[in-house]
Amino acid sequence: MKVRNQFLLSGVAVAAMLGGAAPAYAQAATDDSYSNEIIVTAQKREQSLQDVPISMEVVTGDKIKELGVNDFADMAAYVPNVAVQTTAGNDVIYIRGFGSPPANFSFDQAVSLYIDGVYAGRSRQTQAPFFDLGRVEVLRGPQGALFGKNTAAGAISVVSAAPTREFEGSLTGSYDFEYDGFQISGHVSGPISDTLSLRVAGRIVDNNGYILNRATGQKNPQTKQQLIRLTALWEPSSDFDFTARVEYGNQDIKGGVTVSDSATVTPRLRQDRFLEDSALGQEGIRGETLIASGTANLKLGDYTLTSITGYSWFDSAMINGFDQTLPNPPGGVTNNSVYNSYPENFDQFSQEIRLSSPVGQPFEFIVGAYYDQSDYHLDQFGGFNINNSALNYFGLLRTFFDQQTESFSIFGQTTWNASDRLRFIGSLRYTHTKKEATFDGERIYGPFNLRPITQAQGKRKENNVDPSITAQYDISDDVMVYATYGRGSKSGGFVSNTYGTTNATFQYEPEKSRNIEGGVRASFGAITANVSVYDTKFTNLQVSVYNPTTSTYQTGNAASAASTGIESTIVIRPSRSFDLTASLAYQDIRYLDYPGAACLATQPITECNPGSPASIAANNIAGAPLPYVSDWSGSVQAHSWLPLTSSLELDVTGVVSFRSGYFNSDNQSPIYGYQNSYAKVDLRVQLSDADERWHLAFVGRNLTNKLTAGSVFQLPFPITNTTRSIHYVEPARSIAIEAGVKF
Measured distance CA(514)–CA(487) in Å, rounded: 4
Question: What single letter denotes the amino acid at residue 355?
Answer: L
Domain borders along the chain are: 4-742
Question: What single letter denotes the amino acid at residue 569?
Answer: T
Q: Is 614 exposed, middle or buried (0-12, 13-18, 19+ CB in 10 A)?
A: exposed
Concatenated DSSP letters of 111-137: EEEEETTEEE-SGGGG-SPP-SEEEEE
Position 378 scores a pLDDT of 97
374 versus 63: the higher-pLDDT residue is 374
Cα–Cα distance list, 334 to 98, 321, 387, 486 (Å) = 41, 14, 8, 56
Residue 33 has pLDDT above 90, yes or no: no
Measured distance CA(412)–CA(426) in Å, rounded: 8
> Which superfamily, per CATH, for 4-742?
TonB-dependent receptor, beta-barrel domain (2.40.170.20)
Position 438 scores a pLDDT of 98
Residue 516 has pLDDT above 90, yes or no: yes
DSSP strand pairing (196-207 vs 154-160) = unpaired
685 versus 720: the higher-pLDDT residue is 685
Measured distance CA(82)–CA(64) in Å, rounded: 16
Mean pLDDT of 405-425: 95
In which band, very low, low, confident or very high, does the pLDDT at 544 lie, cut at 50, 70 and 90? confident
The most confident of 2-6, 230-234, 269-273, 726-730, by mean pLDDT? 230-234
Nearest to 306 by CA among 408, 411, 231: 411
Residue 711 has pLDDT above 70, yes or no: yes
Position 1 scores a pLDDT of 47
pLDDT above 90 coverage of the chain, percent: 65
Position 29 scores a pLDDT of 35
Concatenated DSSP letters of 299-368: EETTEEEEEEEEEEEEEEEEEE----SSPPPTTSPPPPEEEEE--EEEEEEEEEEEEEPPSSSSEEEEEE
Q: Is 264 exposed, middle or buried (0-12, 13-18, 19+ CB in 10 A)?
A: exposed
Average pLDDT score, the chain: 88
In which band, very low, low, confident or very high, does the pLDDT at 475 lie, cut at 50, 70 and 90? very high
Mean pLDDT of 97-117: 89
Nearest to 742 by CA among 690, 699, 685, 707: 690
What would the 3-class secondary structure string for 431-486 be?
Answer: EEEEEEEEEEEEEEECCCCCCCCCCEEEEEEEEEEEEEEEEEEECCCCEEEEEEEE
Position 15 scores a pLDDT of 36
Three-class secondary structure of residue 706 per DSSP: coil
Residue 507 has pLDDT above 90, yes or no: yes
Residue 35 has pLDDT above 60, yes or no: no
In which band, very low, low, confident or very high, does the pLDDT at 128 lie, cut at 50, 70 and 90? low
Residue 20 has pLDDT above 60, yes or no: no
123 versus 522: the higher-pLDDT residue is 522
Three-class secondary structure of residue 10 per DSSP: helix
Helix, strand, coil percentages, rounded to 5, for the chain:
5, 60, 35
Measured distance CA(595)–CA(599) in Å, rounded: 11
pLDDT tens digit sequence for 592-631: 999 989 899 999 999 999 888 899 889 999 999 999 999 9
pLDDT tens digit sequence for 241-299: 999 999 999 999 999 999 989 899 888 899 999 888 877 888 999 999 999 999 999 99
558 versus 494: the higher-pLDDT residue is 494
pLDDT tens digit sequence for 313-336: 999 999 988 877 655 444 444 456
State the DSSP code for 290.
E
Residue 411 has pLDDT above 60, yes or no: yes
Widest pairwise Cα distance in the chain = 85
Nearest to 569 by CA among 62, 70, 59: 59
Position 34 scores a pLDDT of 43
Position 432 scores a pLDDT of 96
Position 379 scores a pLDDT of 96
Torsional sign, CA 228, 137, 739, 698: negative
pLDDT tens digit sequence for 160-211: 999 999 999 999 999 999 999 999 999 999 999 999 999 999 999 999 999 9
Concatenated DSSP letters of 651-692: EEEEEEEEE--EE-BTT--TTTSEEPPEEEEEEEEEEEETT-
Mean pLDDT of 35-63: 80
Nearest to 279 by CA among 399, 454, 398: 398
